[in-house]
């Protein structure tokens, strides 16, 4: 059986966006599912718009998504000698020719064709003139004048193009730079690409590329054109919908496995299953279950799925991913047992790593004062000073702060003061965290440790006494 070889060929003229990342993912999954090869190719023949910063951004995004490649990265800008060889092959076989028509002349031809009810295209003036190379000459492909070209698309089905609607398109400009459709075919032939999964904005390029394959006597790859990704309002995805750099989602606190899970579900399905691990995606991905309608990008659904992945990820695996967000907040955090304890109290309540970092603030502050004003006014009342002081005595007497032993300390205070747990818990929460919202109070106490807990209870007592003085 022939080895499946897919590719992802981004142009380094900007960041890697959601649509491009999904294309990369589908090619990567199909290669991994079939024990094939995934090739990365940088299409940088547009020397004016291509930048090294964009190249670096693409690599950064691919590495964050953990979409590793087996060959490459290849750079088209380093393959011009190879393109020259294939141009010469087409010239020698009579499938291409030199053309000296000016842009103004070609535009006039197109306007005339349109006025006569035809397609706006070059009229083939230089097709049989046998011109030689010159400074102002382009090279055009000699398209067939009759018949049809059929794109056998594994996603959309067969798409038929009339050859009479194709013109003799340019494959090399007068400055010697080859054009997109030509170099793509040469690259795919020489790299052994036999499966092309790409966005359906490329459908109109495909008949031209098929004609080039046939002229170069090369077998056609399998083509599959994936519907576009749209915004929630069903319009083309833009920045207002979330069409930003893939790495922006990393910086917003999304996990790579959650992001690729969501990308995969933008146009592909496996029954009603929504949550997939990376390994499940590799095992279950196929081309037949890619839908024919556009995927709709919904940030709320991505966020909900991210929360599911955070909950499903072990504390130890989350630690290195969340640590940069903690440090960005200024926390003196390290990948240690304390961090693991902090994450353990927050990962079931956090939708993003940023949210987790926000929720961890009280764990890394020496002093949680000033307290939330409303919380302090409601819960740190004069009668609570003795309650908090008594709890400090009970907790100080414990050998450890495991939940079961804490319960005994709280019960003694409740019995002595004649109060229910609810009357004690919120004042303690405010004393320890500065607010009324936190993980479970027993969890918080266990993670903070005895020294921090006693210091914060003492500080709360002092606050109450000073407020009442």
Q: Classify 40 as helix, strand or coil.
A: strand
HSE at residue 160, side-chain half, CA atoms within 13 A, is 3
- DSSP code at position 170: E
**12: which residues sit within 8 A by CB, 6+ positions away?**
42, 43, 44, 50, 51, 52, 54, 55, 57, 58
Task: Quickly count: other Cβ atoms within 10 Å of residue 116's Cβ.
Answer: 7
Torsion of CA 169, 174, 175, 180, to 10 degrees: 0
DSSP, res 441: H
228: phi then psi, degrees, rounded to nearest 5: -70, 165
- What CA–CA distance (Å, rounded) separates 302 from 444? 29
Compute the distance between CA of residue 258 and CA of residue 310 in angstroms, rounded to an integer: 8
C-alpha closest to that of 315 among 343, 352, 334: 343
Asked if residue 25 has a cis previous peptide bond (ω within 30° of 0), the answer is no
Q: Both tokens of residue 118?
A: 């035809």
CB-count burial class (<10 Å; 0-12, 13-18, 19+) for 66: exposed
Q: Which residues are catalytic?
A: 239
Contact call for residues 7 and 196 (beta carbons, < 8 A)? yes
Which residues is 259 bridged to in the sheet?
Answer: none
C-alpha–C-alpha distance, residues 111 and 55, integer Å: 39
- CA quadruple 122, 127, 129, 134: dihedral sign: positive
* Structure token digits, residue 152: 């056998």
Contacts of 400 (CB under 8 A, 6+ apart): none
């Amino acid at each position: 059986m022939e080895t499946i070889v897919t590719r992802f060929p981004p142009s380094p003229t900007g960041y890697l966006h959601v649509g491009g990342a999904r294309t990369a993912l589908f090619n990567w999954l199909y290669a991994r599912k079939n024990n094939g090869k995934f090739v990365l190719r940088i299409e940088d023949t547009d020397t004016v718009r291509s930048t090294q910063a964009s190249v670096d951004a693409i690599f950064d995004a691919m590495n964050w998504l953990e979409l590793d490649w087996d060959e490459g990265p290849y750079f088209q800008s380093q393959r011009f000698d190879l393109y020259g060889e294939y141009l010469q092959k087409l010239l020698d076989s009579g499938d291409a020719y030199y053309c000296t028509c000016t842009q103004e002349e070609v535009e006039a031809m197109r306007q005339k064709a349109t006025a006569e009810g035809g397609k706006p295209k070059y009229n083939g003036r230089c097709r049989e003139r046998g011109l030689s190379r010159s400074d102002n000459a382009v090279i055009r492909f000699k398209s067939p004048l009759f018949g049809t070209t059929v794109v056998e698309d594994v996603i959309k089905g067969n798409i038929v193009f009339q050859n009479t609607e194709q013109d003799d398109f340019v494959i090399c400009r007068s400055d010697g730079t080859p054009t997109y459709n030509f170099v793509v075919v040469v690259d795919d032939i020489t790299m052994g690409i036999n499966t092309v999964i790409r966005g359906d904005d490329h459908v109109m390029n495909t008949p031209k590329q098929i004609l080039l394959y046939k002229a170069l006597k090369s077998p056609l790859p399998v083509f599959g054109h994936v519907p576009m990704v749209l915004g929630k309002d069903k319009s083309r995805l833009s920045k207002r919908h979330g069409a930003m750099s893939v790495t922006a989602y990393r910086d917003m606190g999304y996990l790579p496995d959650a992001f690729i899970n969501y990308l995969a579900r933008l146009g592909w399905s496996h029954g009603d299953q929504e949550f997939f691990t990376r390994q499940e995606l590799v095992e279950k991905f196929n081309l037949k279950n890619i839908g024919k309608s556009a995927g709709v990008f919904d940030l709320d659904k991505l966020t909900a799925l991210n929360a599911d992945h955070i909950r499903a990820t072990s504390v130890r695996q989350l630690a290195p991913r969340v640590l940069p967000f903690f440090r960005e907040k200024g926390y003196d955090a390290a990948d240690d047992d304390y961090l693991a304890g902090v994450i353990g109290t927050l990962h079931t309540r956090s939708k993003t790593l940023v949210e987790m970092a926000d929720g961890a603030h009280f764990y890394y502050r020496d002093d949680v004062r000033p307290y939330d004003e409303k919380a302090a006014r409601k819960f740190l009342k004069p009668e609570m000073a003795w309650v908090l002081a008594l709890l400090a005595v009970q907790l100080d007497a414990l050998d450890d702060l495991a939940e079961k032993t804490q319960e005994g300390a709280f019960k003694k205070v409740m019995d002595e003061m004649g109060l229910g747990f609810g009357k004690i818990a919120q004042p303690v929460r405010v004393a320890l965290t500065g607010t009324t919202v936190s993980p479970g109070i027993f969890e918080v106490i266990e993670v903070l440790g005895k020294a921090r807990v006693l210091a914060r209870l003492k500080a709360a007592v002092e606050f109450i006494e000073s407020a009442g003085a």
